[in-house]
Amino acid sequence: MRGQPTLFLAVSLLAGSTNRTWSQQPAERGQPLSLDSAIQVAVQDNRRVKSTSLEVRKLEDRIAAARTRRLPQLNWYMFGAQRLTELNFRFPRGAFGSYPNIGPIPEADTSIRAPFQLSALLIGRVDQPLSQQYQIGLGLRQLEVGREIAREAERAERHAVIAEVKRTYYGIQQAQAALESIEEAIQLYRELDRVTEQYVLQQVALRSDGLDIKTRLARAEYEVLAIRNPLASQKEHLNSLLGRDITTEFQVSAVDEAAWIETELGAARKLALERRPEVKQARLKVRQADYERRLKKADFIPNLSLSFSYLSPVNYGSLVPANIAVAGLLLNWEPFDWGRKKHELAEKNRSIEQADLSLREVETQVTMEVNHRFRKLEEARQLLAVARLGRESMQEKLRVATNRYKQEAALLREVLQAQASLAEASHQYSQALLSFWTARADFERALGEPE
């Protein structure tokens, strides 16, 4: 048949293109970005992770501030005012005694009045807490537990970001693999379309063959557009997770072949209960509730402080001492509270029960998640094995169809159908491979990322 070698060359190129990995395609603009590098950048620069890290620092500042409560408390007050009542000092006759040759002092009832004028009171106090040291210590330990809770929240946010980076990265790999495969097929479809048009004019090929190729070409061009737009959104999302400009250009690396790590489900559950930030947070909240109860119980202890006070009246008259200083013990106690403290303590006891229930619920949810992710990983592994066999089967069928076409024992339609089946099998394998890595990433997150 005239023109047969040229057509066979085009079909051979089309068949060979399906066996070429998408990583061999021309690189897109932008620096290469590996998954490990993306995770490292996200952990350092992600805005959500930074925000939770600032929460830890805030609690550290709060703890440092609370420690100062153990030290002496210095307070100064000044009260300036205009007196509204008369300040009158009265001394009866002989108030200061009666002396020979002098007589009583004063010799008559005497009244000394301070003029109406602006006056002030200067008051200084230094209080060193004594019995309050126990409550202050409990409060510090409670804040330290709160800091540990914040650190676990930071870990949880970091793990969530890492998992989201992995899912987004794998999604970009999947979309880019499909896009490059379709773009490569488009080039070959165009070559087939050109050659087939010549054969139709030479009446060595049917017009329906040409229309079939044009239809496949149009469908492939539409698929390129349908993949390219979501791919751009995925890249913007990954840039946002990395804490950088969303328009930054980059290219992802090729997906690695699947590697199965044998894992025993019982050991995985135990590891998750030890690693997961949610479980650690729940346990810390039980401790925090216990400290709150102990703090409330400490309210029954009277507050005893070593106190020093200084008083300086200004413009209260010459009879009022200019400086008054006293030192002693200051006791503050509320012996009767009508049952208020008792009810508040009962509330804290119930809070501990709630924290215990929350801990058990979190442990149950984590165990269920590990079980679910383990099953999904097994399914993805089995699906990958099926997709690999399907791709190998389609490669062999295309080889046979190509050889039969070369020997004029098969039609072009059969070759195209075999090629389409191989393309679909290759696409399914790529999806299964990336689904496996996504399932593995989800399982690793369910176990808790290692520190």
Please report whether residue 325 resides in a domain.
no
Question: How much of the chain is helix, strand and coil, in % rounded to 5?
Answer: 65, 15, 20
Rounded average pLDDT over 127-138: 92
Please report whether residue 287 resides in a domain.
yes
- Give the CATH number, domain containing residue 233: 1.20.1600.10
State the residue range of the domain holding 81: 4-87+132-306+340-447
Please report whether residue 405 resides in a domain.
yes
Please report whether residue 381 resides in a domain.
yes
pTM of the model: 0.75
Q: First CA to last CA across the chain, in angstroms?
A: 68
Is the model's pLDDT at 319 over the cut of 90?
Answer: no
Residues 266-295 have pLDDT tens digits of 899 999 999 899 999 999 999 999 999 999
For residue 139, what pLDDT band results from cuts at 50, 70 and 90? very high
> Which of the pair, 29 or 240, is modelled with greater confidence?
240
For residue 351, what pLDDT band results from cuts at 50, 70 and 90? very high
Residues 152-192 have pLDDT tens digits of 999 999 999 998 999 899 888 888 877 877 777 777 677 77
Please report whether residue 126 resides in a domain.
no
CB 43 within 8 A of CB 162: yes
pLDDT at 8: 47
Burial grade of 169 (CB within 10 A; 0-12, 13-18, 19 or more): buried
Residues 214-235 have pLDDT tens digits of 887 888 888 888 888 888 899 9
Please report whether residue 317 resides in a domain.
no
Please report whether residue 326 resides in a domain.
no
Please report whether residue 329 resides in a domain.
no
**Which residue reads 């004028």 in tokens?**
117
Radius of gyration of the chain (CA): 42
pLDDT at 123: 92
Is the model's pLDDT at 202 over the cut of 70?
Answer: yes
Closest to 419 measured CA to CA, from 192, 180, 177, 176: 192
Specify the number of domains making up the chain.
1
Rounded average pLDDT over 348-370: 94
